[in-house]
Amino acid sequence: MTKYKDYIQLKDVSHFWRWQKICSGDKKEALEYIEKKREKFFKRLDCEPSRENLLKLCPTVQAEAYILGFLVSKAYSPEEIEEKKRYYLSLEPLPEANISINRWKHEVKRRFSSAGFNDYPDCEFCLLDTYRKLGRFYF
């Protein structure tokens, strides 16, 4: 594989809360840092960084792909977000996850109120699905 830019059109992520916090608001520094992280991520992949291939990877790698702009979340309306929140709150963790219902509800509320939630909500949904299945040792 050559360069990741040959395979995928990336989303500008420099405005994401995570990068602003890391780079103290300096956009140039943030862009350089993000570029280094993207190169490192791309070199680790053993497949083309297409959306289909990235969505087949484990949740932690998918989360990194969202954060770096390789994957882009769907735009959700506030009503859709609220509906998703109600949906996740109505679920119970699977027995093998070994987490209490109260802990699950706390994690759902925490994820939906996190500062970076609006940057990549699909990533948060993926992480919640995994947490529900695998439990607290996932994070």
Higher pLDDT, 51 or 88: 88
Centroid of chain to Cα 48? 19
> 39, 32, 36: which is closest to 6 by C-alpha?
39
> For residue 138, what pLDDT band results from cuts at 50, 70 and 90?
low
For 127, half-sphere exposure in the C-beta direction (CA atoms, 13 angstrom radius) is: 23
Cβ distance 70 to 10 under 8 Å? yes
* pTM for this prediction: 0.76
φ, ψ for residue 48, nearest 5 deg: -65, 140
Mean per-residue pLDDT for 110-120?
86
pLDDT of 1-41, one tens digit each? 456 555 555 666 766 766 766 666 667 777 788 888 888 98
